[in-house]
Amino acid sequence: MTAAAMHRRAKGATMKRGIALAALLALSPITHASDAYVDEVLKALEKKGLLSAQEVQDIKVNAREAERQAQAAAPQTAATPAPPTPSPAQQVAAMLPKPPEALRAWGRLQPRYTYIPAGDGLDGTNSFTFRRARVGLKGALNQDFYAYTQYEAANETPALANADSLLDAWIRYSAFDDTIGDIIVGQQFLPGYGRAPQLSASVERKFTEFLGPGTAGRARGIIVERGKLGAPETFTDGAFGDRLQYGFGVFNGPDLNTNNDNNELLYGVVAALTPLGMTVEDEYEIRDLPFKYLLGAGYSWSRDSGSADARAQNTLLGRPVTLDNAWLQLFGEFHVRRWFGWASWTQFASEDGDGLTLSRADGALDDRLRSRAWTAGFTRTFPLARGRHVALGLQYQQVDNQHPSRTRFMRVLTGSSADELARGMDEGQVFQLMATYIFNPNIRLLNEYAWFDAEHGVDYGGLVSQLQVDF
């Protein structure tokens, strides 16, 4: 054999060994490639004469041994799969805006049983109803925007014209939450004291809230708020180390689901001092917490010709009426350990903008309508097994109502039968005893006995048992 031939053979052997080594290095880390894929690569190299059958076998053996040694060297570490190559469709989808991950559906159900014995010539009540049946969407759109909607499908909501009603539909902008506060635009709660209904100790809202501005406490407009004063989905803390809670806003008027009936607007402001930090939101506090308290006030004003209150006057007087309305609210609350207490007072005053006489709820005529209500109460929770709790509560309310449009609020029922309407109370007091079983923060069974002591009208007692589920 010539020297040249020997050189070519040596060179070829060296090349094969290099290729074999490269194949070994390339294939050994491919732990997630299929055996068929590896076999096809080695067969191709063997077919082209770059590897012998023995070399192919050696590569397979060495690759398996290298993989075994690697696994033995790191027995606690699970193999990380190589990410698959995205398809063209996946690549395009990755460039599109992502849907908001926090946006989700939610709901609230409050099936209720009401029992009122017959008396005073009136039939009693023995009925299953829905106090609330609501669904909605809520969640973060991005780091600054938050959306909230709520739709009511129950047939008992006071002051709503029909069973199918949009209650809330608003957008919250939070870029200034640590300075001036959150900015909220849409149909929402007006500024003023009001607790979310699922966090109330009683089965019904307080008289002071019923007399407050807004139908069901809501209207369309814009508000700037800082702190937690009963508005839903409030995340911001109060100013000055959570010692001051406030809100102010401008709205169409005091009615729900309506545009402005004139060029006048409703203006509202509320503020509360919380020297030790904001109090809890739930009137059934199940935690053992230190003492905190709140003292606050709210004021709202509007001039309306098409509101529910103005329409009631139009019907009774037989002529158009424009009302100058003013609401003043005072409120306070505290919690300590598992005790929670509250007190509130509301005055609602209306005058005819033209200086004419108005009709009161009792049928008398007056130059000015003035309705007042106040309430006070407390609760105490007791822990049970499996994270459950039982709670007891007492509440006292007094009302002197002169607005004809508000009469239906002053009773335990919200139906429309003649006998139920006859139990409406414009002036008097109510004593309430509550016993609630709390399965968890989202499920509770409220039981309440209320005695309505009317100054003029029918005195009666009623029992309400209401299951409450949030999901």
| Whether residue 394 is found in the same domain as residue 452 | yes
98 located within any domain: no
Would you say residue 268 lies in a domain? yes
Residue 8's SS3 state is: helix
Tell me the average pLDDT of the chain.
81
* 101 lies in some domain: no
The confidence band for 384, taking pLDDT boundaries of 50, 70 and 90, is: very high
Instruction: Write out the two tokens for 21.
Output: 């080594």
pLDDT at 5: 47
Looking at the structure, tell me whether residues 428 and 462 fall in a common domain: yes
Residue 97 counted as domain residue: no
Q: What is the mean pLDDT of residues 386-392?
A: 94
Q: What is the pLDDT of residues 332-346, one digit of tens each?
A: 999 999 999 999 999
Confidence of residue 24 (pLDDT cuts 50, 70, 90): very low
pLDDT at 155: 61
Confidence band of 204 (pLDDT split at 50, 70, 90): confident
Three-class SS state of 13: helix
* pLDDT tens per residue, range 220-265: 899 999 988 756 667 788 899 999 999 999 998 877 767 776 778 8
Structure tokens at 332: 């306070």
Cβ atoms of residues 266 and 221 within 8 Å:
yes
Instruction: Retrieve residue 207's tokens.
Output: 């008289």
Same domain, 243 and 150: yes
Listed residue (121, 204, 166) closest to 468, CA to CA: 204
Does residue 179 surpass a pLDDT of 70?
A: yes
**CATH code of the domain in which 275 resides:** 2.40.160.10
> Does pLDDT of 193 surpass 90?
no
Q: Rounded to 5 degrees, what are φ and ψ at 308?
A: -60, -40
3-class SS of residue 92: helix
| Residue range 354-372: mean pLDDT, rounded | 86
Q: Which of 8-17, 198-207, 440-449 has the lowest mean pLDDT?
A: 8-17
Residue 18 has pLDDT above 70, yes or no: no
Quick check: is 100 in a domain? no
The stretch 144-170 carries a mean pLDDT of 74
**Domain boundary residue among 15, 50, 84?**
84
Q: Are residues 291 and 146 in the same domain?
A: yes
Q: What is the pLDDT of residue 50?
A: 66
Shared domain for 220 and 329, answered yes or no, is yes
> What pLDDT band is residue 403 in, cutting at 50, 70 and 90?
confident
Number of other residues whose CB lies within 10 A of the CB of residue 404: 21
- The count of structural domains within the chain is 2
Note whether 177 and 284 are same-domain residues. Answer: yes
314 belongs to a structural domain: yes
pLDDT at residue 142, as a whole number: 86
Q: Are residues 70 and 114 in the same domain?
A: no
| Alpha carbons 361 and 367: distance in angstroms, whole number | 13
Strands 323-337 and 339-352: antiparallel
Rounded Cα–Cα distance for residues 51 and 385 (Å): 74
Q: What is the Cα–Cα distance from 318 to 322, expressed in whole angstroms? A: 13
Report the predicted TM-score, pTM, of the whole model to 2 decimal places.
Answer: 0.74
Q: Are residues 38 and 128 in the same domain?
A: no
Q: Are 227 and 244 in contact (CB under 8 A)?
A: yes
Contacts of 198 (CB under 8 A, 6+ apart): 108, 468, 470
Q: What is the pLDDT of residue 212?
A: 86
Residue 91 in any domain: the answer is no
Report whether 259 contacts 252 (CB < 8 A): yes
pLDDT category at 159 given cuts 50, 70, 90 is: very low
Look at 93 and 467; give whichever has higher pLDDT: 467
- Nearest Cα to Cα of residue 294 among 273, 309, 280: 273
Averaged pLDDT, 352-362: 83
Q: What share of the chain is helix, strand, coil (3-state, %, to 5)?
A: 20, 40, 35
| Span 300-310, average pLDDT | 85
Q: What is the pLDDT of residues 97-112, one digit of tens each?
A: 555 557 889 999 999 9
CB 419 within 8 A of CB 163: no
286 and 414, same domain (yes or no): yes
Task: Write out pLDDT tens, residues 408-451.
Answer: 555 655 556 777 777 878 899 999 999 999 999 899 999 999 99
> H-type helices in 156-226, by residue range?
207-210
Tell me the three state secondary structure of residue 51. coil
Number of H helices, E strands in the chain: 8, 18
- Model confidence band, residue 141 (pLDDT cutoffs 50, 70, 90): confident
Q: Which residues pair with 382 in a beta bridge?
A: 390
164-198 as b/e, with b when 16 or more CB fall inside 10 Å?
ebebbbbebebeebeeebbbbebbbbbbbbbbbbb
Q: Tell me if 363 is assigned to some domain.
A: yes
Residues 32-50: tens digit of each pLDDT: 445 665 666 677 676 666 6
Give me the residue label for tokens 């009631």. 312
Closest CA to 453 of 414, 433, 423, 419: 423
- 302 and 167 belong to one structural domain: yes
Percent of the chain whose predicted confidence (pLDDT) is above 70: 75
| Whether 378 and 329 share a structural domain | yes
For tokens 């039968």, name the residue. Answer: 417
Measured from the Cβ of residue 30, the count of other Cβ atoms closer than 10 Å reads: 14
Residues 351 and 441 in one domain: yes
Q: How far apart are CA 465 and CA 449, in angstroms?
A: 9
Mean pLDDT of 54-82: 66
Check residue 426 and give its pLDDT: 86
Identify whether the C-beta of residue 342 lies closer than 8 Å to the C-beta of residue 333.
Answer: yes
Domain housing 422: 107-470
pLDDT at 180 over 80: yes
pLDDT of residue 349: 94
